Amino acid sequence: MNVFKTKLGSDHPSTHTSMANLASIYWNQGRWDEAETLQMDVMNARKTKLGSDHPDTLTSMANLASTYWNQGRWDEAEKLQMDVVIASKTKLGSDHPDTLTSISNLASSYRNQGRLDEAEKLQMDVMDARKTKLGSDHPDTLTSMANLAATYRNQGKWDEAEKLQMVVMNAFKTKLGPDHPDSLISMANLASTYWNQGRWNEAEKLQIDVMNAFKIKLGSDHQDTLTSMANLALTYGNQGRWDEAEKLNIGVMNARQTKLGSGHPDTHTSMTNLASTYWNQGRWDEAEKLQMEVMHALKKRLGSDHPDTHTSMANLASTYWKQGRWDEAEKLWVDVMNAFKAKLGLDHPDTLTSMANLASTYRNQGRLDEAEKLETDVTNTRKIKLGSDHPSTLTSIANLALTHGNQGRWDEAEKLQIDVMNVRKRKLGSDHPDTFTSMANLASTYRNQGRWDEAQKLEMGVMKARKKKLGPDHPDTLTSMANLASTYRNQGRQDETEYN
């Protein structure tokens, strides 16, 4: 870059290209402030030299928007992306590849803002245009299908996501070969949908195939390989295989620290994942130490109002919650909730999650009226925003039912829990882990009402299903066995209590 500046001058197109390339390197290193400075200079120089609607100017605007996006500055990213879309449509036409890419980028911003319906519409338009312009099996068409599938996944429309991802995966395998990075990424995306559907054995099989292929193709320390290892670790965690998850997470964290450095965003993600594993193992001091480290690093790196910083604060609050440190958890949750409200808006998914978490803390503090108010607000907003049968909506209804139970309002709790259970059975299937949880919650309400036979029937069903789905030594299976044993004890069936 300096050579070009000296040799050709600061406003020469080749100098601008070298500055853009250096900004790209900074971007990949997570050095977004430095990337932003260079990208701003390039954009302004190209506007002056080439004009606001020149393709190179529009590319520089798109690059700067991408940096804003990673900084959590979604409003600024959206404004730039909208300008790029309008200019590209005027200059190049609505179906030009660069125009379609700009529309896709704008859709991605909408998705991160929780504006899923808007994202879906744009992605549908891009997909259809690319099918017409490029053909159904063109890589860009397949990418647009994958992006639409990702939005479906966020909407909880997993059957639709799975269908698209299956098409994408098979097309990439046929077009590029089964070990091409795009084929492997499409397999990883399908595995992620299986994961959300509670189909962990299928997810695990795909993730192992992806991981092994990346190791052979790219090497053990390549970022795509490390990501695939992290994804597999998440699946092991959901299967209750904490030791295997921990081993993978430590390997990923150490490799990223060596390869990228301790301050890189991907390193922080791996530390967060390891902390989550410790959290699920009940090793809360170790989880807290890692989460504290990540939070401080993100505050220094991104600032106190960045969404990633807020997420790290939320993770630490959840550890305080498990440790029974309610006041400390509450303080963090309140800070996170207020920050998300200001940054993302009242109806953003992250804002609603933070409100739900604060409500859970209030419930554990016995502040049931405050918990109920927050949970009612979350439930109503999610119904409007996501629909009554979205997984997040059902979770909020289940949380409100727990609060009603703690208030002794068993009839209301029961009604809500029956609704959640029935929708999950219909939406997710009878053997989905979330369905088991809703059955267990309803059984707990029956138990508190002294309706032992009804509680026993549900608990027996949950225990058998979890044994089959998760294995006899999974933590959730063991919990269901303990619940059934407690019901037997209350029925005076001591022999069966000891047996179970």
Q: What is the pLDDT of residues 198-239, one digit of tens each?
A: 888 899 999 999 999 999 999 999 999 999 999 999 999 988
The angle at the Cα of 116, spanning 371 to 305, to the nearest 5 degrees, equals 60
Q: Which amino acid type is present at position 101?
A: T
CA distances to 328, 366, 376 from 403, rounded to whole Å, are 21, 10, 10
Q: How confident is the model at residue 500 (pLDDT cuts 50, 70, 90)?
A: very low
CA 122/CA 106 separation, integer angstroms = 8
> Residue 11 has which token pair?
């406003």
Q: For 15-29, 207-221, 315-329, which range has the lowest pLDDT when averaged over its residues?
A: 15-29
Between these two residues, 432 and 419, which has the higher pLDDT value?
Answer: 419
CA 363/CA 367 separation, integer angstroms = 6
Residue 95 near residue 129, CB atoms below 8 Å: yes
Q: Is the pLDDT of residue 376 over 50?
A: yes
CA distances to 167, 248, 282, 342, 397 from 362, rounded to whole Å, are 45, 35, 22, 22, 16
Any idea where the domains of the chain sit in the sequence? 1-113
Query: What does the pLDDT average to over 53-72?
Result: 89
Q: Is 216 exposed, middle or buried (0-12, 13-18, 19+ CB in 10 A)?
A: exposed
CA 393/CA 370 separation, integer angstroms = 19
Question: Domain 1-113 belongs to what architecture?
Answer: Alpha Horseshoe (1.25)
Query: What does the pLDDT average to over 435-464?
Result: 93
CA 306/CA 60 separation, integer angstroms = 23
CA 192/CA 158 separation, integer angstroms = 10
The enclosing H or E element of 264 equals none
DSSP 8-state class, residue 407: T
| Predicted local confidence at residue 499, as pLDDT | 44
The DSSP result for 425-490, as a single string, is HHHH-TTSHHHHHHHHHHHHHHHHTT-HHHHHHHHHHHHHHHHHHH-TTSHHHHHHHHHHHHHHHH
Mean of pLDDT over the chain: 91
Spatial CA neighbour of 107 closest among 129, 84, 81, 140: 81
Query: What does the pLDDT average to over 375-386?
Result: 94
CA 381/CA 403 separation, integer angstroms = 18
Summarised one tens digit per residue, pLDDT across range 99-147 is 999 999 999 989 888 888 999 999 999 999 999 999 999 999 999 999 9
- pLDDT above 90 covers what percent of the chain? 66
Cα 55 to the chain's mean position, in Å? 33
Q: Which amino acid type is present at position 297?
A: A
| Predicted local confidence at residue 9, as pLDDT | 57
Residue 273 near residue 234, CB atoms below 8 Å: yes
Per DSSP, the three-state class of 263 is: coil
Q: Is the pLDDT of residue 4 over 80?
A: no
| Predicted local confidence at residue 8, as pLDDT | 55
> Residue 248 has which token pair?
């993978």
Q: What is the pTM of this model?
A: 0.80
